[in-house]
Amino acid sequence: MSGFSRAEQVLGELLRPDLQGRTAYGAPQLDVPVQLNTNENSYPVPSAVVQAMCAALAEAGTGLNRYPDREFTALREDLAGYLTRSSGVPVAASQLWAGNGSNEVLLHVVQAFAGPGRAIMGFVPSYSMYPNYALTTGSDWVEGRRGIHREDAIDLDPQSAAEQVAQHAPAVVFMASPNNPTGSALDLDVVTAVYDACARTIVVVDEAYAEFARPGTPSALTLLSGRPRLVVSRTMSKAFAFAGGRLGYLAADPALVDALRVVRMPYHLSTQTQVVARAALAHSDLLMAEVEAIKTQRDRLVEETARMGLVPMPSDANFVLVGGLRDEKATWRALVARGVLVRDVGLPGHLRITAGTVAETDAVLAALSDCLTSTAE
């Protein structure tokens, strides 16, 4: 253990064996002018929303000597109203659950329905936190493939996905729509096929980027009725410019929501989080205007990188996975040297670029063009 302190050595030996040698999840945080690597909303919270948040906090401040509403009743009502209006699917407050970001909400699902002796499953490439949920809960992790019948498949097809779920019978299966890092949305027949494949599997459709979907892209919210094992998760981090506010939520059958109460920590949502999230939801129309601006820049990234001879994937999210790079790691370093930070997601020849403001899009396109020209010389 040369180079380690005595405390590090002792604690390293006491750490759970399955955690030893592992590093924490997290994207690189570098001090560069253009940061497009974590799919944040690049637009600051509008001043009208900030003022509403401050007023709500001031009103709630005198009551901070008391614990928050454990059932976050008013917030659940507001979330249900927002989902009903935006999706056209009636959603009741009894179907809603929320937490400090969608990671906590999804972890609640795993804590309630997976654990030692049970497995959770995801289809790679996808959100890299899904295996971490298995690790932290002592669950087995099953890495599904996006193509059994087509080895080069990026999107899931109903037959291959259902076959894999039937084979492994996981306690929980995760499917992201739009998927991260590919940006592609699921066909709903994939969801129904997976749901029907195993009668003892909780099926989670992670719709963190749903508000950025192209017109006509369906939501799994339309499938909730009559499917008590189906969960549809959302977040306010992206579309609502609320990454720092930490509010994720899900919709499911009330009986499933009730099961999550068993595993949540007491009073897990602070009063501040609840009131600030409600203020943001009250201004959803204003915040969705920024979503439309981001979608414009996303589509511009697709068009302009294709003109450069690269291979971008059409996206329903607030990012674009760009392929066709000869050396993605060298390109990533070259972009950082030019003041632009994007994400290396571990796919050969690909980098993921968050869609930001017009100025940020200008900067990343100029830097990428310069990188390609330099490597071609």
- pLDDT tens digit string along 213-233? 999 999 999 999 999 999 999
Q: What's the distance, Cα to Cα, between the start and end of the chain in Å?
A: 47
Fold for domain 27-44+286-376? Answer: Aspartate Aminotransferase, domain 1 (3.90.1150)
Q: Which of 251, 226, 237 is nearest to 98 (CA)?
A: 251
What confidence score (pLDDT) does residue 11 get? 83
Fold for domain 47-282? Answer: Aspartate Aminotransferase; domain 2 (3.40.640)
DSSP reduced 3-state for 4: coil
CA distances (Å), 339 to each of 23, 34, 49, 55, in order? 26, 6, 30, 37
What confidence score (pLDDT) does residue 188 get? 96
- How far is 128 from 212, CA to CA, in rounded Å? 20
- How far is 277 from 19, CA to CA, in rounded Å? 34
Per-residue tokens: 286? 């204003």
* pLDDT tens by residue, 231-247: 999 999 999 999 999 99
What amino acid occupies position 131? P
**CA 46 to mean position of chain CA atoms:** 23
What confidence score (pLDDT) does residue 147 get? 62
Do residues 167 and 210 touch, judged by C-beta distance below 8 A?
no
**pLDDT beneath 50: ranges in the chain:** 1, 148-151, 377
DSSP state at residue 343: B
DSSP reduced 3-state for 346: coil
Domains of the chain, residue spans: 27-44+286-376, 47-282
Per-residue tokens: 75? 């917030």
Query: CA-based Rg of the chain, rounded to a whole angstrom?
Result: 21
- How far is 72 from 268, CA to CA, in rounded Å? 10
**213 torsion bin: left (phi>0), alpha (psi -120 to 50), beta (else):** beta
Task: Evaluate the omega torsion of the peptide bond into residue 348 and state whether it is cis, within 30 degrees of 0.
Answer: no
- How far is 305 from 194, CA to CA, in rounded Å? 35
Give me the long-range contacts of 152-158 (CB less than 8 A, separation at least 24): 154/182, 154/184, 154/313, 155/182, 155/184, 155/186, 155/187, 156/123, 156/186, 156/190, 157/190, 158/187, 158/189, 158/190, 158/192, 158/193, 158/194
- How far is 240 from 226, CA to CA, in rounded Å? 30
CA atoms within 13 A on the CB side of 174: 36
